[in-house]
Amino acid sequence: MTRIYNNKDIVFEYHERTKHSFQRFSASLDYLDWNNQPYPFRIFQGTTQFELKVSNQIPALLYHELYNLNRQPNPFSISLISELLYHSLAISAWKNYLGNSWALRVNPSSGNLHPTEGYLILPAMKELATQPGVFHYNPSKHSLELRVEFAESDWQQLVKPFPSNSFFIGLSSIHWREAWKYGERAYRYCQINIGHAMAAIRYACSLLGWHCCLVDSMLDQELAKILGIDRFDEFQPNEYESPDLLLVISPTKISQSTNIPIEIIENIATANWNGKANKLSQGHYIWEVIDRVTKASLKQENQTFIPKKSSTLSSLPSNILAATIIRQRRSAVAMDGTTSISSALFFDMLKHLVPALCSVPWDVIPWNAMIHLGIFVHRVDGIKPGLYILVRDQEKKSFLQQVMKPEFVWSSLEKCELPLFLLEERDTQEEVIAISCSQAIAGNGVFSCAMLAEFSNPIETYGSHWYRQLFWETGMIGQILYLEAESKGIRGTGIGCFLDDPVHEIFGIKDYTLQSLYHFTVGGAVDDQRLTTIKTD
């Protein structure tokens, strides 16, 4: 009898299929097809272009002040929308080597692959258009491309559930860009990048005193319609965009319980759209498994969340401007293996990862923490090297104790108010290098971490789209660690290549109750002297 697969089966099958192990890596081409390297920038040809100005007149906010929600918001204007994009989705620098150049973004771009696309839905503004519209953001020119104008009456209905002066940012993914290099595992990485971008947008909003919230009530089919990415005749075959999420931006706090009328979405979708997407590659290798999991994990149902408690973080003071930290975020290419940090700095970094202690950027999502950090501590002064865990939702401690190794000690740390526990005291440097696809950077840092997701329960309970949302949460954690490392004079980098089940064996994970989705390392960076960085500001 032929088995009938449902969407959840497809998600679990994809996840298992794309694991790395000591015996094999997830399927890819095993070489880079340079003749078909995707062009890094989506451009809609045949649209009206609006170049955005960078005024650099943003508030002189210190980094630690990003976490203060009780600040006066800046007024809504196109110049500050430009600043929002400049500090979230824009190019932050260019690197040159042997005559080749590539762009770095404020949000990670997977080594010049740039899988994440951004769209804005804005009201009528004299600097842009006489009617409300949907715009594509082009980071290569820091410009907006007008895709469609629609009726003012539709705009009023669109923003009716939200505070006045609200607008929207939508995110989508071009899976082909990532798959060109990473093959089948690329779908995972695209979702991590969405989480990074979401957190980057939330930080940029905080820079301006604005608020940001996921419009969780919107289904993916509706999102594709309102962003115009379901208009397949306007895209090249095999270069389509997949809808990911919609954020609402407002100068005042936003309610999580919001719905956008479907008839308004239909009105916008049937308006007169302009432009056609540029061709990214001459040829494509078709990864059918990515197409299959993309369809299976589309959001087709909603759920209601219990409101989260708000929190205000008491962070260590900084004398560095927040905008500087945001724009200088870089991925380390190597660690020196000698740098250490104090336990006070280490604890302060981890504070920002616990939603109960820190609202920004966690107030952007409506659910409680589903990701916990298994931490490999190498060089933190006053803390023994070993295996630790940060329980990001303290109510989950007993659950984690039940599903991990029974011999773990679960010892609390002195002078630490975090839900951080020592599991096992030992040197983990060589081990973490081995499970990180032999990447020395994982063992040469101050610490490395495995992001352990409560995996099967949310997918089985709430739907297959939770597969994506778990990765989003890991990307948000990664973005925080990037900024926290920069603010403390060190550097971080995300690690997508790790050996899944060998990681699980370290923690005693035997099934899909928990799964490791993303790794990260922090430490003293070694600059690559072959590269020349050209700043954009």
Closest to 157 in 3D by CA, of 86, 258, 61: 258
Between CA 150 and CA 269 the distance in angstroms is 9
Between CA 19 and CA 13 the distance in angstroms is 10
Domain boundary, last residue among 212, 247, 280? 280
Q: Answer positive or negative: Cα dihedral of 283, 287, 291, 297.
A: negative
Closest to 145 in 3D by CA, of 156, 154, 153, 136: 136
Please name the amino acid found at residue 279: K
Closest to 196 in 3D by CA, of 96, 107, 329: 107
Q: What is the pLDDT of residue 2?
A: 47
Closest to 535 in 3D by CA, of 55, 42, 79, 86: 86
* Total count of domains within the chain: 2
95/236 same-domain check: yes
Q: What is the pLDDT of residue 313?
A: 63
130/269 same-domain check: yes
Q: What is the CATH number of the domain that holds 441?
A: 3.40.109.10
Residue 177 placed within a domain? yes
Beta bridge partners of 491: 523
Tokens 């208009």, residue located: 231
pTM metric for this prediction? 0.97
Closest to 166 in 3D by CA, of 298, 299, 58, 260: 260
Q: Answer positive or negative: Cα dihedral of 499, 423, 446, 473.
A: positive
Residue 10 placed within a domain? no
Closest to 323 in 3D by CA, of 204, 179, 448, 443: 204
Contact yes or no for 490/523 (Cβ under 8 A): yes
Residue 91 placed within a domain? yes
**Phi/psi of residue 109, nearest 5 degrees:** -125, 25
276/337 same-domain check: no
Residues of the domain holding 406: 331-523
Structure tokens at 418: 């975090």
239/369 same-domain check: no
Q: For 465-511, where are the alpha helices, taking DSSP H only?
A: 466-487, 500-507
Residue 297 placed within a domain? no
Between CA 305 and CA 247 the distance in angstroms is 17
Closest to 443 in 3D by CA, of 429, 427, 462: 429
374/501 same-domain check: yes
Structure tokens at 198: 């979401």
Beta bridge partners of 44: 277
Q: What is the DSSP letter of 321?
A: B
Residue 43 placed within a domain? no
Between CA 442 and CA 432 the distance in angstroms is 6
Closest to 472 in 3D by CA, of 192, 217, 213: 192
User: Within the chain, which residues score under 50 in pLDDT?
Assistant: 1-2
376/441 same-domain check: yes
339/252 same-domain check: no
Closest to 58 in 3D by CA, of 386, 268, 323, 287: 323
**pLDDT tens across 435-482, in order?**
999 999 999 999 999 999 999 999 999 999 999 999 999 999 999 999
Between CA 277 and CA 325 the distance in angstroms is 33
Distances (CA, A) of 302 to 215, 298, 386, 471, 509: 11, 12, 41, 18, 30
Q: What is the DSSP letter of 309?
A: P
Closest to 349 in 3D by CA, of 300, 388, 316: 316
CA 411 to chain centre: 32
Domain boundary, last residue among 280, 297, 319? 280
218/365 same-domain check: no
**pLDDT tens across 215-233, in order?**
999 999 999 999 999 999 9
Residue 293 placed within a domain? no
Between CA 503 and CA 25 the distance in angstroms is 14
What is the average pLDDT value for the chain, to the nearest integer?
94
Which pairing describes strands 167-173 and 242-250: parallel, antiparallel, or unpaired?
A: antiparallel
276/335 same-domain check: no
- How many helices and strands, by DSSP H and E, does the chain display? 15, 21
361/438 same-domain check: yes
Domain boundary, last residue among 280, 307, 322? 280
Structure tokens at 324: 């500087």
357/263 same-domain check: no
Between CA 203 and CA 9 the distance in angstroms is 36
Please name the amino acid found at residue 438: S
Structure tokens at 391: 């329980």
Q: What is the DSSP letter of 230?
A: T
First to last CA, the chain: 63
Q: What is the DSSP letter of 183?
A: G
Which residues does 136 contact at the CB level (< 8 Å), separation at least 6? 42, 44, 47, 117, 118, 119, 144, 145, 147, 275
Beta bridge partners of 515: 453
Beta bridge partners of 138: 143
Residue 362 placed within a domain? yes
Residue 300 placed within a domain? no
191's torsion region: left (phi>0), alpha (psi -120 to 50) or beta?
A: alpha
273/379 same-domain check: no
